Amino acid sequence: MTIAYLVNQYPKVSHSFIRREILGLEACGIKVARFAIRCSQSELVDEADKLELTKTRYVLGIGKVGLLISLLRVFITKPVLFFQALWLALRIGWGSDRGMLLHLAYLAEACVVLIWCLDDKISHIHAHFGTNSTAVAMLCHRLGGPPYSFTVHGPEEFDKAKGIALAEKIKRSAFVVAISSFGRSQLYRWCSLEDWSKIHVIHCGVDEIFFQENLTTVPDLPQLVCVGRLSEQKGHLLLIEAAGKLATEGWQFKLVLVGDGPLRSQIESRIIQLGLLNHIKITGWASNAEVKQEILLSRALVLPSFAEGLPVVIMEALALGRPVLSTYVAGIPELVEHGVCGWLIPPGSVEALTDAMRKILQLPLADLVQMGKTGVKRVAQQHDAAIEAGKLAALFRFDRDLETNPGNINYRLPDLSSARISTTRSRL
C-alpha cells in the first residue's frame, strides 16, 4: 500500500510531528510518498528534517510552465472531470477569503499531484492542516485521483471554517483526523451529523529521542523555557510582561525563548524596554536535540497560549519529566492536569501568569520531580508516536479495503483502541 502525504511546507522546523507520523507509518509497513506545495529549506536545522528534504517532491518546484503543462494534460485526457473540478474550485473560491484566482492555482497544483499519484500508483492522499493542502487533495480527488483524508490541528481552521470550505472538505473526504477531543468537537460544529462518524481523534506523538531519555533531576536553577513560534497566538508578549513583574520584585531567574517568527523584533524591543536582557534569551530555531536540552535545563515549560490545537512541545516537556505551565485553551487541558503535572491559567491574564511563574520558582524540587513523573506517565499513555501511527495505519488500511470491496456490508470502522501496541516504559 502506497499513500501520499501532502503538506503546504514539508519538512518544516515546526512540523517535526508530521515527520514522526510518516516514519511511524513506514514502520507499520505503509509506503509513504512525500509531496509538498513549497519548500522551506532555509529554516531547517534538524538533520532528520534535512534528510526528509531529499525525499520530498515539490509541486511549485516544477515552475509555472510545468504547472500549465500538467493542467493542459489533465484537461485533454479528462475533460469532464476537469470541468467538474473547475466548478468545485470556483464554487469554494467564491466564498473564500483568498479568492477564486488562488483556487484556480490550487486546481493547477491538483493536476500535478494527480499525475504524480497515477505515476506512483498512490492509493490514498493524506493532508495536514485543513487549508490549502487539503483543498488541493480534494480537487485532485475530484479529477479522478485517489480518496483523501486530512488532519485538522487548529486554531487556524476553526477561525475561518467557512472561508476554507471546511464542511465541504469533510463531506468529500474518506475520513478526518482531529488531534484532540476539543478539535473533534469543533469539527462537529462545521459538518452535518451524517459526517460525524468520519472524524477520529489521533494524537500527535512524541518519539524515542524523548522517551529514551532517563529521567534527570530537575535542576536547582531558576530557569524556565518557552518553546514555540514567535507569533501572537503563543502569548510571548504577555510572558515578557510577567517576567518584567518578577524582575521588578527582585526575583533572579532566566527565561529561554526557543523559536523564531514574525513577532521576534517586537519581543526583542519589549525585552529592552523592560530591562530584561539579563533575564531573557532568544535562541532562534533549534533542532530536536537542542529543544530537549533546553527543556532539561529548566524547571518547567511555560506556554501561555491564546489559541492552540494541542502543542507537541507540551508532550515533549512532560515526557522529559518537566511540568508545564499553560492555559485553559483548546486541547491543552486534556493533557495537562492542573496541580498534578503542571498548572493551567486563564489565557490573557498577566496576573495569573506572574503568580504561577513565581510559584514554580519557589516550589521545592521534590514537588517538581513528582509532577514530572506524573507527566511522563500521561504522555506515554496518550502520545506515543508509534501507537498513534498504528491507529492512523488502521484507518488507511480500512479505507483501502472499503475501496476494494465497496459492496461488503460487513465492513465497520476500525476500533482504534485495538490499534494500540503494547509498550513498556522503564524510566520511572
Q: What pLDDT was estimated at residue 287? A: 87
Q: In which band, very low, low, confident or very high, does the pLDDT at 424 lie, cut at 50, 70 and 90?
A: very low
Please state, for a pLDDT cut of 90, what percent of the chain lies above it: 83
Convert the pLDDT of each residue in 125-177 to its tens digit: 999 999 999 999 999 999 999 999 999 999 999 999 999 999 999 999 999 99
Query: How does pLDDT run across 374-408, given as a tens digit for each residue?
Result: 999 999 999 999 999 999 999 999 877 767 665 55
| pLDDT average, residue stretch 337-360 | 98
pLDDT in the model for residue 291: 92
322 pLDDT band (50/70/90 cuts)? Answer: very high
pLDDT at res. 209: 73
Burial of 69 (0-12, 13-18, 19+ CB in 10 A): middle
Q: CA-CA distance, 171 to 159, in Å (whole number)?
A: 19
- The predicted pLDDT at position 413 comes to 54
> CA dihedral in degrees (285, 276, 321, 369; nearest 10)?
170
The three-class DSSP label of residue 4 is strand
pLDDT of residue 98: 82
Residue of 297, 385, 389, 378 whose CA lies nearest to 342: 378
pLDDT at 415: 56
pLDDT of 216 above 80: no
Over the chain, what is the mean pLDDT? 92
For each of the domains in the chain, give its residue range(s) and CATH number, in order of start: 2-205+392-419 (3.40.50.2000), 208-382 (3.40.50.2000)
Residue 213: pLDDT band (50, 70, 90) is low
**What string of DSSP letters covers 24-63?**
HHHHTT-EEEEEEEE--GGG---HHHHHHHTTEEEGGGGH
What was the pLDDT predicted at 422? 36
Strands (E), 153-232: 175-178, 199-201, 223-227
- Name which of 4-8, 319-323, 418-422 the model is least confident about: 418-422
Q: Which residue type sits at 188?
A: Y
Strands (E), 171-228: 175-178, 199-201, 223-227
What cell numbers appear for 205 in the block?
506523538
User: How far apart (Å, rounded) are the C-alpha atoms in residues 9 and 149?
Assistant: 17
What pLDDT sits at residue 410? Answer: 44
Strand partners, 259: 284
Q: If pLDDT is split at 50, 70 and 90, which confidence band does 44 have?
A: confident
Which tens digit of pLDDT belongs to each residue from 235-251? 999 999 999 999 999 99
Question: pLDDT tens digits for 61-78?
Answer: 999 999 999 999 999 999
Whose CA is closest to 258, among 234, 282, 278? 282
Q: Quick check: 237 and 266 in contact, CB under 8 A?
A: yes
Confidence (pLDDT) at 399: 78
Whole-angstrom Cα Rg for the chain: 23
pTM of this structure: 0.90
